Chains A and B, each alone.
Chain A
Amino acid sequence: MGPPLSGPLSRRDAGLDERHAARSWAGAEGALRALTAAASAAMVGCVVVIFVALALATLDGRTVGSTILSTTWSPALGSYGLLPLTFGTLVASLLGVLVAAPVGVLAAIWIVELAPPWVSGPARALVDVIATLPGVMFGLWGRTVVVPFVRDHLAPANDAGPSAGFGLVTAGIVLGAMILPTITALACGALGGVPASLREAAVALGGQRWDVIRHAVLPVARAGLWGAVAIGLARALAESLAVEMVCGSNPLWPRSLFAPFSTLGAVLVDETVDATRVDHIAALAGAAVWLCVLVVPVMLVGRRLLRPREPAESARVERAA
């Protein structure tokens, strides 16, 4: 070791450091900070503008606010009951998720854990790309393929008429098909994030294939798999165009699972451009707020679950060391 660091020397060091910091603060560092601050402000500004605008518009409609719990959404009557729309949004999405979640997760398990590598890679690529396809394409598909299919093969005869084939079941099928690739792609990511060494340890202990999946892979991937399902659900709840194209646009209580209905997103699509009265715009803004209340928490929880939990891991290593 050299001479002991005396007081003056360390102080001189600190002085050097401060000058250095000051110079860089005035230069590139300052510019970077200013830019990031501006970008942050823009990001926060967007969110604030969205919710302030929605809040202001919604407040305009307080005279008809008492009608939101009614079962009638009718701008002509000045009644804006959100219940049938909420029902339509939730039921159509749940129908889709109930099918897409188990199928998506099991398909992801096959792709990641069971398929030979030359299948697994291309399959993941295909699913990733399908998962980015836009909702409007699924709506178009629903209208040209699913609606005739439901009309001809599934719907009971007493639901015949020009709107036959449009309904909750059709929307559930379209939403299920839309979120199935999403759930599969995210589930593949969650399963692929499980360390290979853990799988190997379980194989070395003599586990058969599904024992290894169940005891070594799924415990680690579980949160991510739930995240994948949550994001699929959020995407289904938030979808507007695809549902609008197959729901039949009936904002009242649907007669059956095969009868026309509407959702919060679909009613925004249908009525926004034609809305001129203040109370109507306010009601649509209210529907938009209510849709955010349904979707945003599910999406945030899903994202949180999908995030790899590095901090816990490193904390454990530190404690172990």
Chain B
Amino acid sequence: MSGAAEAKVATTSLSAHHGAVEAVRGVTMQVARLEVTAIVGPAGAGKSTFLRCLNRLHETKPGARVEGRVVIDGVDIYHPEVDPAALRRRIGMVFDRPQPLPGLSIGENVLAGYRLAGERAERPDGVVEATLRRVDLWDEVKDRLSRPAAVLAAGEQQRLCIARCLALKPEVLLLDEPCSGLDPIATARVEEVLNELRRQLTIVLVTQSLSQAARVADTTAFFHEGELIEHDRTDVVFRNPRDPRTENYLTGRFG
């Protein structure tokens, strides 16, 4: 496990509620800088809610409440002086279903973050090309940048959504089951992109797929009923789980 000094994101006793339901219970966890961290666990384990606390998206839901601390690069992101919108621009997030913004073309979707902030990118064409190359989408779409994003297949849309985050030069990328709606080939291409991006930015990946965690993650965290059960190098978690609940989940005995 990485030392605390290297941690990009560190949570301390983080709890999150949906109304009366406590979805995340006192999670203390470090996410190492420039690594891929996978979060696995059965449905209802609080994985997505935890992820949504890291960019302060959870609090936008009615009835949501967050306790504890989340520190990124030494800054408490729940400090009253922190602007959630500015924070979210520095932390990209990709959802389980691709959500290209409606009415925008493929190229405009890459720059959607600038448009949302009422800004203009410097050399927009260069940003579009460079960003789409990073998600391996440039060659597929370079001739139809002005077509609506809806014409793309689901897997292409999902990589477009990753590109849209990358265009804002984030330091952290959060992915919430990004491949759950994709076929195996589209999934493989998203994973290739994640492999390209490792060492460039810090990635937190929530996934239902243990094999995906094994393929792409440096460390893996196991969540169960809102609690962090264990978190270690991926091979350690998979080969020698310390907690019986982790072992049961990994071997398919519940979940």
Contacts and interface: CB of A to CB of B under 8 A. Distances in A.
Interface of A: 116-117, 197-198, 200-208, 211-212, 215-216, 219-220, 316-317, 319-321
B97 interface: yes
Ordered nearest first, which 5 A-B pairs have the shortest CB separation?
A206-B89, A207-B116, A201-B99, A219-B103, A204-B93
A201 B161 contact: yes
A211 B89 contact: no
Interface in B106-133: 112-113, 115-118
A200 B57 contact: yes
Contact of B86 (A206, A212, A216, A317): A206
A215 B116 contact: yes
B117 A207 contact: yes
Nearest to B156: A320
Interface in B72-115: 85-90, 92-93, 95, 97, 99, 101-104, 112-113, 115
Contacts of B95: 197, 200-201, 204
B116 A204 contact: no
B157 interface: yes
B152 interface: yes
B201 interface: no
Given A117-B62, A197-B99, A216-B101, A205 B168 contact: yes
A165 to B, nearest CB: 46
Contact of A316 (B60, B63, B150, B164): B150
Contacts of A202: 101, 112, 116
A164 to B, nearest CB: 50
Contacts of A204: 55, 57, 88, 92-93, 95
Q: Which of B85, B116, B118, B151 has the most CB of A within 10 A?
A: B116
Contact of A203 (B57, B97, B157, B164): B57
Nearest to B93: A204
A255 B220 CA distance: 81
Contact of A205 (B60, B113, B118): B113
B165 A320 contact: no
Interface in B6-22: none
15 contacts: A198-B99, A198-B102, A200-B60, A202-B101, A205-B88, A205-B89, A206-B87, A206-B117, A207-B117, A211-B115, A211-B118, A215-B101, A215-B115, A219-B101, A219-B103
Contacts, number: 82
A220 B102 CA distance: 7
A117 B151 CA distance: 35
B204 to A, nearest CB: 13
Contacts of A116: 62
A117 B61 CA distance: 10
Interface in B50-70: 55, 57, 60, 62-63
Nearest to A221: B102
B85 A208 contact: yes
Given A200-B57, A204-B92, 17 more contacts: A197-B95, A197-B97, A198-B101, A200-B60, A200-B95, A203-B88, A204-B55, A204-B95, A206-B85, A206-B116, A207-B85, A207-B116, A208-B85, A208-B117, A215-B112, A220-B102, A316-B151
Contacts of B60: 200, 203
Nearest to B86: A206
A258 B201 CA distance: 69
Nearest to A195: B99
A204 B112 CA distance: 11
B188 interface: no
Contact of B116 (A198, A205, A320): A205
A95 B150 CA distance: 39
B110 to A, nearest CB: 11
B214 interface: no
Contacts of A319: 151, 153
B86 A205 contact: no
B119 to A, nearest CB: 10
Contacts of B89: 205-206
B101 A206 contact: no
A212 B116 contact: yes
A320 B181 CA distance: 11
B193 interface: no
Nearest to B62: A117
Nearest to B183: A321
B250 interface: no
Contacts of B93: 204-205
Nearest to A316: B150
Nearest to B89: A206
Nearest to B116: A207
Nearest to A203: B60
A21 to B, nearest CB: 38
A229 B103 CA distance: 21
A255 to B, nearest CB: 47
Contacts of B116: 202, 205-208, 211-212, 215
